[in-house]
Structure 1
Amino acid sequence: MSLPAPGPDRAALVTGASSGIGAEIARELARRGHQLILVARSEDKLQALAEELRGTGAVAHVLPADLSDATARAALPERVGSLGVGVEVLVNNAGLSTVGPVASADPAAELGMVEVDVASVVDLTTRFLPGMVDRGRGALLNVASTAAFQPLPGQAAYAASKAFVLSYTQAVAAEVAGSGVTVTALCPGPVATDFVATAGFTDEEAHQAMPKVMWLPVEEVAKAAVAGMAKGRKVVIPGAANRVSAMAAQVTPRSLLLPVLAKGHPGLKRDRG
């Protein structure tokens, strides 16, 4: 199994492409000759990435969109159609996290996160997957997290959202088995990107919460993601330490695991302080 071959009428659509894992996956796909459609809220950052990719000979289109907005998501297929290409690789990477106890959370912020992390994945998959199946070729990558493998006090809705993405992706993979379409869940551990600061962690807090051995460069994560898609893998967890951690989280009794996670989470430490 492999990624669909690049072509002038074919493109890879990457959400959350303005920075971090999304931008690096776009670069990796461009290296493999794929035409790119870059989607995120920040048009300036998307344009900068598009210019960078064009400088390497790649074709890159910019479609700014707020993926927390259902109307904006619904408009994407028509906007893509106007470019004269079909989406044969879809990377649902856009995501964010809130931090802190649910008892003091902002409902709007929590629901906004669920719109991007969950609803957007379901929405765009449902809109673009049928075309892949009809053509008998395509690749779908949904970005989850190692947080998907256990509840996470301090980021309760985030971990639950990523657990949904992992479960959803595995189910869709089973549905389209044999169709020529591959479906992969990427479950990265900690990565040094803007995501950490946007979530509200300081670098010091983030590195105290996660051992150094678990942190990976964003380039390594992106390469693992695209290689996993190319091989038709259903789940990709970059880094040996993260794979061990994910396995351990699944077999450790919740009664033992959750108090330890709650005690060590920076967002809950702040609240207690």
Structure 2
Amino acid sequence: MINVNGRWALITGASRGVGYQIAIFMAKQGCNLILHSRSLEHTHAVLEEVKELGVNAYSVAAELSNPDEVRHMLEEIDALGVEVSLVFNDAGVQVAYRTEYFKTPVEDFTSSFMINTIAPAMICYHFLPKMIEKGFGRILNTTSGIQNEPQQAGYSASKAALDKYTKDLASVVEGTDVLINLTDPGWCRTSLGGPYAPNSVESVIPGIVVGAFVDDKRSGRLFNAQSFCDMSLEDAVKEAQE
């Protein structure tokens, strides 16, 4: 199992929901953090919380629907002078539920793809070559098990595209100590999942992060967080590597 103590991780969407759970858990493992949100104000509380756990941390801000802001954020991270060896592409958007789905506006697709597919791809393209050069890295792209929901076509299609992108890119690093995989938190009670979801947001731990700790040189997999619910991290890693 990988020891992340002293390493640096970027977490997008770290101010709430699943991203917040990732941030707190990784800080408890001694991992230094770069916390992303749309506004520095949004990550102020979690920034202070993880620092109190004894790790170093920074906040960065970017609207992921704007490629220029994503580029600026990546330049800002580079300027910090730290080596990012773990990336959690957790931030996402779920657009309106369209009961009249035959009238789904184009904007549902464009906004979903910009945030859920293109921004994560830009982040992967930025950090993956650096990880390959250093010989170590972990990237986890958050996907969704949503299916048969034409009412949410933009969201569903953007996550399917992220799946395809991740699996194709995984072929580049398969068999090395740079791993890129997918993780699915399941349907959780968050601002995105809504109040009627069957799973608490806390249930994503440790499954949502297990891909950062595996040490088996396998990429292109999907880790379903709910399959590891209530496990210790050590047991989750063992199961994930079977």
**What aligned pairs does 1:162-201 form with structure 2 within 5 A after superposition?**
162-197=159-194
Q: Deviations over 1:228-266 (max 9, x none)?
A: 331256211122599xxxxxxxxxxxxxxxxxxxxxxxx
Tell me which amino acid in the other structure corresponds to 1:137: F
Matches within 5 A, 1:48-127: 48-98=45-95, 99-100=97-98, 101-127=100-126
Q: When the two structures are superposed, what TM-score results if normalisation uses the length of structure 1?
A: 0.75
C-alpha offsets along residues 184-243 of structure 1, whole Å, 9 cap, x if unaligned? 20122210111134xxxxx3xx45xxxxxxx3222221311212331256211122599x
1:239 corresponds in structure 2 to 226
- One-letter amino acid of the counterpart of residue 111, structure 1: T
Q: Give the aligned partner of residue 205 of structure 2.
A: 222
> Aligned-residue CA RMSD in angstroms?
2.1
Query: Higher helix fraction: Structure 1 or Structure 2?
Result: 1
1:39–1:241 Cα change, 3 Å: closer
Whole-Å Cα distance in 1 between the matches of residues 149 and 177 of structure 2? 36
Counterparts of 1:199-218 in structure 2 under 5 Å?
A: 203=195, 206-207=196-197, 215-218=198-201
- In structure 1, what is the equivalent of residue 22 of structure 2? 25
Distance 1:155 1:15, change over 3 A: same
Distance, in Å, in 2 between the alignment partners of 1:40 and 1:102 is 30
Segments of 5+ residues of structure 2 without an aligned counterpart are: 230-242
Equivalent residue number for residue 155 of structure 1: 152
User: Can you give the 5+ residue segments of structure 1 that lack an aligned partner in the other structure?
Assistant: 198-202, 208-214, 243-273
Paired AA for residue 8 in structure 2: A
Distance in 1 (CA, whole Å) between partners of 2:62 and 2:21 is 19
Indicate the larger mover: 42-51 or 217-226. 217-226
Alignment length, in residue pairs? 223
CA contact (8 A) 2:13 2:36 kept: yes
Structure 1 residue runs of 4 or more that deviate by more than 6 Å after TM superposition:
none
When normalised by structure 2's length, the TM-score is: 0.84
2:224 is aligned with what amino acid? Answer: I
Sequence identity of aligned pairs in percent? 31
Rounded Cα–Cα distance in structure 2 between residues aligned with 1:31 and 1:170: 30
Structure of higher CA gyration radius: 1
2:237 aligned partner: none
CA shift, 1:179, in A, is 2.5
Query: 1:14 is aligned with what amino acid?
Result: I
- The amino acid across from 2:92 in the alignment is G
Q: Matches of 2:228 and 2:55 in 1, distance apart? A: 34
Amino acid at match of 1:185: L
